[in-house]
Amino acid sequence: MGLVDLLQSIIPPALFFSAPLIFTALGGVFSERSGVVNIGLEGLMVMGAFVGIIFNLTFGDALGVWAPWVSIFVAMVVSALFSVIHAVAAVSFRADQVVSGVAINFLALGLGVFLTKQWYGRGQTDMVSHQFFTRDIPFLSDIPVIGDIFFQGIYWTSYLAIALSFVAWYVLYKTPFGLRLRSVGEHPMAADTNGISVYKMRYIAVILSGALGGLGGSVFALTIALNFSHATIVGQGFMSLAAVIFGKWHPLGAMGAALFFGFAQSLSVISGGVPVLEDVPQVFLLIAPYILTILALAGFIGRAEAPRANGEPYIKGTR
């Protein structure tokens, strides 16, 4: 097998698997940069997947070609609203943010499966028929070699994810809004003294993470899973969280990590056809993202340093 063929069999699936992780990891970056730990990414993805699938099944026929796009948009909005629960607990009620995130995970799965049983009479929904399809990108796919590898048989959502990473980077590092958001995560009291509303910034950040988590979940549902059950989202949210940390809380780093994790996931699916890797037992590919994150955190692969005030509720007037 030639190199081009090899890349052609590796890269599209890697992009395909990593898109949901990228979206969700970006959400995690926003939330954690503002100082709110978000273990609830998993639950936000569950909510996104649930809403995406239900909306698609209900209105898919009426919307036709636009069905998947409208579905992920609606999933985004609903997950953003859902994440307000985490924001209220973590920011206003001064709850332990990790515990509140755990509650979000429980609640999303409980609600999702409860409503699925309520509406479909069993633990899983029907399969959607208006999902995303792979596309050859016009013109670009005609470029020799590169076109074959990067622009044939790929989902638009994968490009959206990568583009959004750059947008997130620009917003966080090149705009006043981003500076404020990062400042409340590093030193909320200093930010407060400078007239930045810590609570408002944190609410916005958590809601953004809800929207992006919902986007990630619904994209996963409408490209990979195609239905919703209790086993649709199993660990992708936590893997995105790993990507946030492995990417050192930077949008582009998170994107890189998510691409790598998606690549590792896709390898465990397609490794049969790839030389060298076909001899590696699947389990090593499955646990690679987690082990690498531990090594990164332990300082063996660069030093991962969290935003200073991550996880601490801000109480006005305390030192």
Which pair of tokens denotes residue 207? Answer: 């809601």
Binding of residue 299 to other proteins (CB under 8 A): yes
**Residue showing tokens 């893997």:** 239
Identify which of 14, 6, 44, 17 has the alpha carbon closest to the alpha carbon of residue 220: 17
Tokens of 58: 């209900």
Using rule CB under 8 A, residue 128 touches other proteins: no
Considering the rule CB under 8 A, would residue 6 count as an interface residue with other proteins?
no
Q: Smallest gap, in angstroms, from Cβ of residue 211 to other proteins?
A: 21
Residue 253 and residue 244 in contact, taking contact as beta carbons nearer than 8 Å: no
Phi, psi at residue 135, to the nearest 5°?
A: -135, 150
Rule CB under 8 A: is residue 137 a binding residue for other proteins? no
Report the residue number, 69 or 290, with the smaller CB distance to other proteins.
Answer: 290
CB-nearer residue toward other proteins: 83 or 157? 83
- Shortest distance (Å) from residue 98 CB to other proteins: 6
Supply angle C-alpha 59, 60, 61, rounded to 5.
95
Type of residue found at 73: F
* Binding residues for other proteins restricted to 67-96, rule: CB under 8 A: 85, 89, 92-96
Q: Which pair of structure tokens corresponds to residue 24?
A: 């969700």
For residue 173, what is the enclosing H or E element?
A: helix 156-174
Binding of other proteins at residue 114 (CB under 8 A)?
yes
Alpha-carbon distance values, 30 to 97, 260, 310 (Å): 15, 20, 12
Minimum CB distance to other proteins smaller for 88 or for 160: 88
Per-residue interface string for the shown chain with other proteins, residues 255-294, x marking contact by CB under 8 A: --------------------------xxx--xx--xx-xx
Size of the site for other proteins (CB under 8 A): 47
Find the shortest distance in angstroms from Cβ 171 to other proteins. 25
Among 22, 37, 206, 208, binds other proteins (CB under 8 A): 37
User: Tokens at residue 295, please?
Assistant: 């090594």
Sort residue 169 into left (φ over 0), alpha (ψ -120 to 50) or beta. Answer: alpha
Helix (H/G/I), strand (E/B), else coil: 305: coil
Segment lying near other proteins (by CB under 8 A), choices 9-17, 52-60, 102-110, 183-191: 102-110
Q: Which CB atom, from 2 or from 319, has the smaller least distance to other proteins?
A: 319
Work out how close the CB of 286 gets to other proteins at its nearest, in angstroms, rounded to a whole number.
Answer: 4
CB-nearer residue toward other proteins: 174 or 303: 303
The CB density around residue 224, as the number of other CB atoms within 10 Å, is: 18
242, 257, 264, 267: which one binds other proteins (CB under 8 A) = 242
Of 88, 319, 310, give the one whose Cα is nearest residue 185.
310
Among 6, 7, 81, 107, which residue interacts with other proteins (rule: CB under 8 A)?
107
**Shortest CA distance to 86 belongs to which of 205, 248, 220, 240?**
205
In the complex, the smallest distance separating the C-beta of residue 133 from other proteins, rounded to whole angstroms, is 27
Residue given tokens 């590696």 in the structure block: 280
Q: Which of 159, 210, 251 is nearest to 48 (CA)?
A: 210
Contact between 301 and other proteins (CB under 8 A)?
no
Binding-site ranges for other proteins (CB under 8 A): 37, 39, 85, 89, 92-96, 98-100, 102-107, 109-111, 113-114, 117-118, 231, 234-235, 238-239, 241-242, 245, 281-283, 286-287, 290-291, 293-294, 297-299, 306, 311
